[in-house]
Amino acid sequence: MNTGELTDLGQQLRVDSVRAAAAAGSGHPTSSMSAADLMAVLLAHHLRYDFDRPAHPGNDRFVLSKGHASPLLYSAYKAAGAIDDEELLTFRKLGSRLEGHPTPQRLPWVETATGSLGQGLPVGVGIALAGKRLDRTGYRTWVLCGDSELAEGSVWEAAEHAGYEHLDNLTVIVDVNRLGQRGPTRHGHDLDAYARRFQAFDWHTIEVDGHDVDAVDRAYGEAASTKGQPTAILARTLKGKGVEGVQDREGLHGKPLPEAEEAIAALGGPRDIRVRVQEPPAARMLHSVHTGNFELPKWDKGEEVATRNAFGEALTALGTGRGDIVALDGEVGDSTRAEFFAKEHPDRYFECYIAEQQLVASAVGLASRGWVPYAATFAAFLTRAYDFIRMASVSGSGINLVGSHAGVAIGQDGPSQMGLEDLAMMRAVHGSTVLYPCDANQTARLVGAMAGLEGVRYLRTSRGESPVIYAPDEEFPVGGSKVLRSSGADRLTLVAAGVTVHEALAAAEALEQEGIAVRVIDLYSVKPVDRATLRRAAEETGCLVTVEDHHPEGGIGDAVLDAFTDGRPVPRLVRLGVRTMPGSASPEEQLRASGIDAESVAAAGRLLVEEAVVR
């Protein structure tokens, strides 16, 4: 296209953005209008993409980090012939694929859900890592960011990662329209302020007038041909560009234009330009899923093994068997044991340093390209990435997260290092799976099972050693549980997972000595929970004590109650968990202080059974 045609295409994208928002009665047309020329040039001249084959391995990848500019994205889809005008006008309506913020669950051309700002570039870094280190089909990753979102630290984690990894297949286009939601940004139209920052993180930068289509065209060409560095294009634009009284004005964020018809006329009225988007080059994926037979590691009953070690060994074995498994570390691989995988499969190991948001975002990016990522750090530090985990579930992303050093059982390091909110956090994620093994063989099986699940999967591992209690060939279906002790005379059920399984077993032994028969359930699948087994235990024993190395809210106790919230009779229940703020102490002292050691469990069980009898 020539200059005039590109300019016309930009105007069409503006007009369609205005129309879509007007039809919806909500949305962000002004944020779309600032970036319309940037999008027009990208679509017409630089993006290599087959809209009929979104899974084509040679396709470039485009991420709209400023997800609220969805009218622009959908207008571009229309210009590319991927959707029609009728669908464009379903924007934001019930059942429409065109949501307020784009998601891959609805649209095959969307790489990742956006709408929480500062996430597009980190996920784009994950995609570019896949492209450069694994897929190697030559695709380019383009990320369109707003200027406001550059205040998010996650953007600079991503900038650091991309610069260090020399991701020259990555371009970020920053739509510097100088206006955030509530007013001006910190740096206004000072492109140099942004350029200095990206340069400091070893990026190539280009400053450009974002409404000069020829200059933008040249900038994209320069970005694509820059070697050894990612490129940031800082584009000076005007919010609401092209409509007098709207352009560059505060107070018009996230609203349909006040006079849509007049605005459309001012923009030259509707057009019907169709863009022939460049075909991607022929390419095939390098990875094959099955690369050979493999066996998960096995341990003998009675061995003392930390579940974190079992995770490391199992993941390594899984990686030997499956070429699509990748591992990511947040600079604690020696603690989480992810480093075992690194030694065996260095080509599929991603060191993310101490940057948990980028750790999870890289996993999301890799998963979007068909890889099966396991990202591991301390359970406590996954809280740093909660917004990314939440958004991964909006994307329907299939990622495995592994949190080690769970609970007070870590001992002396104290509360900053203890995952005590992770079960609550992960259970509340839509469609998530939450697993918490108590021995090495169980851990290995669950590590293997996770790979085949949908959605966000979470495995909680422990720092200290614990005895192997299961045979190596035991099966652990997700959604199941294990009844470790039971008899017809059981008057109480103890429900535990992870480290507290061993405490519960000891408590049961003690109570048995006193003549109280006790059932013990290992609830290794915290979500989904094994309703049938819990209900049977409730019916047969009447009393339940749950015990967990986690704050009482949202963890195993609440998961157990999931089995009883459909109106059926509920057992008498006591929920043990960490109710005080721990300090430093030995693991044994910690369990005792929190009232989740064998003695405390036995005491709670005894009291519940006695009270049940008295009543």
Q: Choose the catalytic residue: 152, 207, 351, 356.
A: 356
Per DSSP (E only), the strands in 254-353 are 304-306, 325-329, 349-351
Tokens linked to 472: 């190596």
User: CB-wise, 320 or 417, nearer to its own copies?
Assistant: 417
Q: How far is the CB of 212 from its own copies (least distance, A)?
A: 26
Which one-letter amino acid corresponds to residue 295? E
Binder among 31, 357, 442, 600 for its own copies (CB under 8 A): 357
* Number of residues this chain uses to bind its own copies (CB under 8 A): 120
Q: Could you identify the residue written with the tokens 């030997």?
A: 320
Q: Which stretch binds its own copies (CB under 8 A): 123-131, 177-185, 313-321, 441-449?
A: 177-185
Q: Is 155 an interacting residue with respect to its own copies (CB under 8 A)?
A: yes
Taking a C-beta distance cutoff of 8 angstroms, is the pair 544, 538 a contact? yes
Which residues inside 300-329 make contact with its own copies, applying CB under 8 A? Answer: 329
Tokens linked to 132: 């450069």
Q: Is 204 an interacting residue with respect to its own copies (CB under 8 A)?
A: no
What values do phi and psi take at 84, rounded to 5? -105, 175
Which one-letter amino acid corresponds to residue 380? A
User: CB-wise, 267 or 496, nearer to its own copies?
Assistant: 496
Q: What x/- string results for residues 330 through 349 when contact with its own copies is judged by CB under 8 A?
A: -xxxxx---x----------
Q: Which stretch binds its own copies (CB under 8 A): 53-61, 175-183, 271-279, 296-304?
A: 175-183
Q: How far is the CB of 194 from its own copies (least distance, A)?
A: 9
Q: Is 217 an interacting residue with respect to its own copies (CB under 8 A)?
A: no
Burial class (CB in 10 A: 0-12, 13-18, 19+), 131: buried
Q: How far is the CB of 17 from its own copies (least distance, A)?
A: 15
Tokens linked to 561: 């109650």
Q: What x/- string results for residues 57 through 76 when contact with its own copies is judged by CB under 8 A?
A: ----------x---------
User: CB-wise, 182 or 227, nearer to its own copies?
Assistant: 182
Q: Is 31 an interacting residue with respect to its own copies (CB under 8 A)?
A: no
DSSP state, residue 183: S
User: CB-wise, 467 or 552, nearer to its own copies?
Assistant: 552
User: CB-wise, 185 or 600, nearer to its own copies?
Assistant: 185
Tokens linked to 581: 């703020």
Binder among 117, 144, 406, 449 for its own copies (CB under 8 A): 117
Q: How far is the CB of 556 from its own copies (least distance, A)?
A: 12
Q: Label residues 378-412 b or e (16+ Cβ within 10 Å = b).
A: bbbbbbbbbbbbbbbbbbbbbbbbbbbbbbbbbbe
What does the alpha-carbon distance between residue 469 and residue 100 come to, in Å, rounded to a whole number? 50
User: CB-wise, 296 or 529, nearer to its own copies?
Assistant: 529
Determine the 3-state secondary structure of 556 from DSSP. helix
Q: CA-based angle 419:421:423, to the nearest 5? A: 95
Taking a C-beta distance cutoff of 8 angstroms, is the pair 9, 1 a contact? yes
Q: Is 563 an interacting residue with respect to its own copies (CB under 8 A)?
A: no
Q: How far is CA 489 from CA 165, 502, 523, 602, in A?
A: 62, 22, 21, 17
Binder among 72, 275, 328, 425 for its own copies (CB under 8 A): 425
Binder among 231, 551, 563, 598 for its own copies (CB under 8 A): 551
Binder among 6, 9, 15, 24 for its own copies (CB under 8 A): 24
Taking a C-beta distance cutoff of 8 angstroms, is the pair 136, 286 a contact? yes
Half-sphere exposure of 478 (CA within 13 A, CB side): 20
Cα-only R_g, the chain = 27
What does the alpha-carbon distance between residue 176 and residue 174 come to, in Å, rounded to a whole number? 6
- 584's CB contacts (< 8 A; 6+ apart) are 411, 412, 413, 414
Binder among 274, 430, 452, 512 for its own copies (CB under 8 A): 430
Q: CB count, 10 Å around CB of 221?
A: 12
Binder among 108, 281, 452, 583 for its own copies (CB under 8 A): 583
What is the rounded end-to-end Cα distance, in angstroms, of the chain? 84
Q: Which stretch binds its own copies (CB under 8 A): 22-30, 34-42, 54-62, 443-451?
A: 22-30
Q: Is 429 an interacting residue with respect to its own copies (CB under 8 A)?
A: yes
User: CB-wise, 181 or 487, nearer to its own copies?
Assistant: 181
Q: Is 603 an interacting residue with respect to its own copies (CB under 8 A)?
A: no
Tokens linked to 525: 């699948």
Q: Is 83 an interacting residue with respect to its own copies (CB under 8 A)?
A: no
Taking a C-beta distance cutoff of 8 angstroms, is the pair 72, 39 a contact? yes
Q: How far is CA 193 from CA 95, 146, 222, in A?
A: 42, 15, 21
Tokens linked to 465: 């050693």
Q: Is 115 an interacting residue with respect to its own copies (CB under 8 A)?
A: yes
Q: Which stretch binds its own copies (CB under 8 A): 100-108, 282-290, 298-306, 500-508?
A: 100-108
Q: How far is the CB of 416 from its own copies (least distance, A)?
A: 3
Q: How far is the CB of 73 from its own copies (least distance, A)?
A: 13
Q: How far is the CB of 571 from its own copies (least distance, A)?
A: 7
Q: How far is the CB of 126 from its own copies (least distance, A)?
A: 15
Q: How far is the CB of 574 from its own copies (least distance, A)?
A: 5
Taking a C-beta distance cutoff of 8 angstroms, is the pair 144, 112 a contact? no
User: CB-wise, 33 or 394, nearer to its own copies?
Assistant: 394
DSSP state, residue 172: E
User: CB-wise, 246 or 277, nearer to its own copies?
Assistant: 246
Binder among 59, 316, 358, 533 for its own copies (CB under 8 A): 358
What does the alpha-carbon distance between residue 587 and residue 463 come to, in Å, rounded to a whole number? 10
User: CB-wise, 301 or 430, nearer to its own copies?
Assistant: 430
Q: Is 230 an interacting residue with respect to its own copies (CB under 8 A)?
A: no
Per DSSP (E only), the strands in 370-502 are 372-378, 400-404, 433-435, 457-460, 465-467, 482-485, 492-496
Q: How far is CA 96 from CA 92, 107, 209, 256, in A?
A: 7, 10, 35, 18
User: CB-wise, 268 or 464, nearer to its own copies?
Assistant: 464
Q: Is 606 an interacting residue with respect to its own copies (CB under 8 A)?
A: no
Which residues inside 472-531 make contact with its own copies, applying CB under 8 A? Answer: 527
Which residues inside 386-415 make contact with its own copies, applying CB under 8 A? Answer: 386-387, 390-391, 393-394, 396, 411-415
Q: Is 255 an interacting residue with respect to its own copies (CB under 8 A)?
A: no
User: CB-wise, 283 or 573, nearer to its own copies?
Assistant: 573
Q: Is 207 a catalytic residue?
A: no
Which residues are catalytic, by number? 356
